[in-house]
Amino acid sequence: MMRNWLTIFIVVISFQMNFAQELNASVSVNAERMTDVNPQIFKNLEKQVSEFLNTTKWTNREYEQNEKIECNFFINVSEFNSNNISATLQIQSSRPIFNSTYSSPILNLNDKDFSFRFIEFEQLIFDQNSFNSNLTSVLAFYVNIILGLDMDSYSELGGTKYLGVASNIMNVAQSSGYKGWSQSEGNNNNRYFLISDMLSNTYSPYRTSLYEYHFKGLDLMADDLKKGKEGVANSIETLAKIQKSRPNALLTRTFFDAKTDEIVQIFTGGPMTNNAALLETLNRISPLNSIKWNKIR
């Protein structure tokens, strides 16, 4: 009898381990400038943030181990005062490409207004309908953007639900007084504008282009390289629709912050496509990267 219960227990545990949480998040905290603070504080911060990201159940979907989203969170501490931390936060995510060992970058953001209070060993609690701490709110905000854009890359506008969660987190956090959540901060480059633009019809070509770029572009390359490259080129033309009404838009810059080097690699060598038209579009919508675009032949 005991052996039967043990067998059942092992089967249940094995079944649960076949399904993992959604993220495979790597967390790095750089506090080299904090020479007069016990470094163990920042090691604990790194550990607790990693556990929060990787053990929280963010969706009602079941992810197998090989489906977990690869992402990185880099926290660069600039100030520590009585458990109050000022830092920048860089967020990166990628997704695997069909029939290859390659992962394509989707997101590469740098949040310069990341301040929060951190008490060692205090449980990190998140509730999207209430504000508990700026640390968990900011992390959960970007987790849901990662989830939303990952799903967008597999089906057109497929991540709307999770971008909506990120928007709700932003709305709840606005009354907290922390920077980065408000429309009235004097710039259009914070969390408020990022999620508002992602959910705006005006900027929907950004999300559509992610679908075309990955699902109708990169995912085809293993079987038909030329067709895959044409899909990527078409996605850039879709993105260019934003330029007509919103030159130098935040989401256009967000796209190229993640994709510039990859685009150069895709269109340098291999089956020829209409690179002249592509180069004209790239230089028009992302002129700051013109030196890199010149490498495309």
Same domain for 28 and 162? yes
Digit-coded pLDDT (tens) for 258-281: 999 999 999 998 888 889 999 999
The answer as to whether 195 is a domain residue is no
The answer as to whether 113 is a domain residue is yes
Q: How far apart are CA 270 and CA 289, in angstroms?
A: 22
Q: How far apart are CA 246 and CA 197, in angstroms?
A: 11
Same domain for 228 and 147? no
Same domain for 27 and 150? yes
Same domain for 129 and 205? no
3-state secondary structure of 89: strand
Digit-coded pLDDT (tens) for 52-87: 999 999 999 888 888 899 999 999 999 999 999 999
Please check the confidence at residue 15 and state whether its pLDDT lies above 90. no
Digit-coded pLDDT (tens) for 80-125: 999 999 999 999 999 999 999 999 999 999 999 999 999 999 999 9
The answer as to whether 289 is a domain residue is yes
The answer as to whether 273 is a domain residue is yes
Domain span holding position 269? 200-297
pLDDT band per the 50, 70, 90 thresholds, residue 20: low
Same domain for 163 and 230? no
pTM for the whole structure: 0.92
Question: Bigger pLDDT: 282 or 1?
Answer: 282
Same domain for 229 and 162? no
Question: Bigger pLDDT: 126 or 7?
Answer: 126
Q: How far apart are CA 169 and CA 144, in angstroms?
A: 9
Q: What is the rounded (10 degree) CA torsion for 148, 60, 98, 236?
A: -10
Same domain for 93 and 165? yes
Same domain for 213 and 166? no
3-state secondary structure of 22: coil
| C-alpha closest to that of 145 among 80, 226, 58, 86 | 58
The answer as to whether 110 is a domain residue is yes
Please check the confidence at residue 10 and state whether its pLDDT lies above 80. no
Same domain for 142 and 255? no
